[in-house]
Structure 1
């Protein structure tokens, strides 16, 4: 942008140059900063230094300061739109109630230097405060994460990226958005959501946390991995399953299948749990590792159940929380159908049809 354009947008006095603004010899007024913010598409808080560039995803994207932003440009742009939509909808409807935020805020987080232990202990405490105990499965991980006040959407992500966790400070408080890969199976998506919930609970500070298909290399990742596994599949549930296991050469197949289906976890996570918590020798789990999933489920009579949950695992989906609030705002005539469609991950025609079917019609 030319200096003349910026000067005109800021309505600077004739004897003041943009260079004087940039070198600090002239302090612009609030109205001048508002003009600069509008033409530069940068919040005034960033221009004044009250909000670091890393506190606003949109600004960071424009400046190219988000790690991995090239490969993730589309998903990150969508995450930024979700943050904008959320702010817009909140301005009309008020800030959404987050039912679990207050409960989870009371959880005493473990800061054990051994990351795996910290994650395991915190996961047990979360289950306890939510009344899940040691044997109750978490039925809906999307609902749990959104009940903490974090919108969740499922969409295509680059190969080997399971999830994105965006932390944004534009509204003053830390707001997050979580995206999970629609390419992943449903059990892996649940695991990713549990992993991202851990980052939120500990308020891990990275602006964008990329959950990749590789071994964790830092304390927050070790902690989040252990948290996810123990939140979804508690140690005592594994030990009980091992104690009650049948006899026979392939005895661990029905045990693994029941744990996978009952707690909504992947085969890999189940095998690790059986080894670490159940003390099952690795070689005894080979019939689990190398079986077809359908054959594995057949040993426990769970084929139909597993198929039902697998039917929609690769479907893109928007944030249920934001979609519901957007539909309400649309019904008042406060937002357009194209905004609701973007939140739904659908075209405008489909969105209008679904809104009408749900009884939402815009009012002037």
Structure 2
């Protein structure tokens, strides 16, 4: 019997990698931007993928490229190779590299916690509803950005005005949001990663303005809905035409803009104001609970404001404009979230509420020790005890006194509910 050729070895490895990643030939072809017939030719050994196609294929399937080309088992990607290409990883600043590795390490540790402590069977969650998934390949058509954004708002009954807090909203969708402190020179706003056991996870750079953080969250939500077949995407300040995922990033930007501030609703609100002024933009920002700067650009996107006005009015202080209108708390621009001075100051604020609630409950129920919880969340035990495990502090009773007379009733047709064992 003749020796098996290197082409046959590669063909068999390609099929094995695809099948172990749970992808059909059609799905893999869509993720790579090629035809299904070409994928079939690769797997039969009749054609060989180019070096670029092979690198993309390895990333999509989550395996080391070198293991596709040599005998032996396939090797899963490790370290930053799971999220970005090796060349891109080498160009990162050490601080950014450390934060991204911390993100990936936490996801692995949290997956083990869910399996071993919570008894969950993974993979689970972190997938978009079938009704919202892109039907064909990776959605990159800018002409669909507005209609798709409205479709998502309608699916979640969000209307066309102000959105809920996006950190909380993504957490409720099962998208794990991790906060990182990335240096300005890293030129990174966030990342999307498809964890093999947890599903969709998002990293957001909190060393950015609240307006940029909200835009990043909406941008990563677009990746979750339409680009979840990709293994990972870094959200950078500049992505040049022709770079990998350039069209994907461009679509996510357009979708995020329409999701945060729908064009039709913006035009209706702008018409009610009459002639646009900087103060009027502040009122629009308050209506949509979006940043003043975002509103300037959305008005320009919709042809309601000239580009030179965007440049001129962007130099003004939105806080001062708001105070002129008697709006003392301009929280949607200044932001209630404090920007940490360093990664160490983030502490438990890195993690979404659902993660902290699960870990706290596991410790209080004796299924996880404080030391294990501190290791999982990468904090020391005293901080964990002080911020997560301490009993609730008593609150101000004034509001209770003010509201109890008005709200102390049972809705018609409802019987008073007895306390459960957990509330006792």
Q: Which runs of 5+ in 2 are unaligned?
A: 1-62, 341-345, 393-424
Counterpart in 1 of 2:129? 104
Given the superposition, is the C-alpha separation of residues 128 and 225 from structure 1 closer, same or farther in structure 2, using an over 3 Å criterion? Answer: same
Given that residues 253 and 299 in structure 1 are in contact (C-alpha distance below 8 angstroms), is that contact kept between their aligned partners in structure 2?
Answer: no
Q: Which runs of 5+ in 1 are unaligned?
A: 1-44, 360-364
Counterpart in 2 of 1:76? 100
Given that residues 126 and 200 in structure 2 are in contact (C-alpha distance below 8 angstroms), is that contact kept between their aligned partners in structure 1?
Answer: no
Match of 1:167 among 194, 208, 212: 194
Given that residues 192 and 202 in structure 2 are in contact (C-alpha distance below 8 angstroms), is that contact kept between their aligned partners in structure 1?
Answer: yes
1:193-247, Cα deviation, whole Å (9 max, x unpaired): 1101111112344433111122564211111001111111111221012101144
1:344 CA displacement: 5.5
Task: Give the TM-score of the pair, scaled to structure 2.
Answer: 0.62
Aligned residues: 307
Given that residues 257 and 296 in structure 1 are in contact (C-alpha distance below 8 angstroms), is that contact kept between their aligned partners in structure 2?
Answer: yes
Cα RMSD after superposing both structures: 3.7
Given the superposition, is the C-alpha separation of residues 128 and 308 from structure 1 closer, same or farther in structure 2, using an over 3 Å criterion? Answer: closer
Matching of residues 105-120 of structure 1 within 5 Å: 105-107=130-132, 109=134, 115-120=141-146
Counterpart in 2 of 1:330? 363
What is the distance in 2 between the residues matched to 1:286 and 1:184? Answer: 20
1:85 CA displacement: 2.5
What is the distance in 2 between the residues matched to 1:63 and 1:189? Answer: 21
Given the superposition, is the C-alpha separation of residues 331 and 176 from structure 1 closer, same or farther in structure 2, using an over 3 Å criterion? Answer: same
Per the alignment, in what secondary structure is the counterpart of residue 183 of structure 1? Answer: coil
1:53 CA displacement: 2.3
Matching of residues 225-236 of structure 1 within 5 Å: 225-236=253-264
Counterpart in 2 of 1:272? 297
1:114 CA displacement: 6.1
Given that residues 127 and 200 in structure 2 are in contact (C-alpha distance below 8 angstroms), is that contact kept between their aligned partners in structure 1?
Answer: no
What is the distance in 2 between the residues matched to 1:81 and 1:270? Answer: 37
Counterpart in 2 of 1:16? none
Per the alignment, in what secondary structure is the counterpart of residue 68 of structure 1? Answer: helix
Matching of residues 7-46 of structure 1 within 5 Å: none
Counterpart in 1 of 2:350? 318
What is the distance in 2 between the residues matched to 1:279 and 1:185? Answer: 25
Moved more, 294-303 or 321-330: 294-303
Given the superposition, is the C-alpha separation of residues 76 and 287 from structure 1 closer, same or farther in structure 2, using an over 3 Å criterion? Answer: closer
What is the distance in 2 between the residues matched to 1:67 and 1:278? Answer: 37
Given the superposition, is the C-alpha separation of residues 194 and 340 from structure 1 closer, same or farther in structure 2, using an over 3 Å criterion? Answer: farther
1:98 CA displacement: 12
Task: Give the TM-score of the pair, scaled to structure 1.
Answer: 0.72
2:181 is aligned with 1:146: no
Matching of residues 219-258 of structure 1 within 5 Å: 219-247=247-275, 251-258=276-283
2:154 is aligned with 1:128: yes
What is the distance in 2 between the residues matched to 1:258 and 1:50? Answer: 60
Given that residues 170 and 177 in structure 2 are in contact (C-alpha distance below 8 angstroms), is that contact kept between their aligned partners in structure 1?
Answer: yes
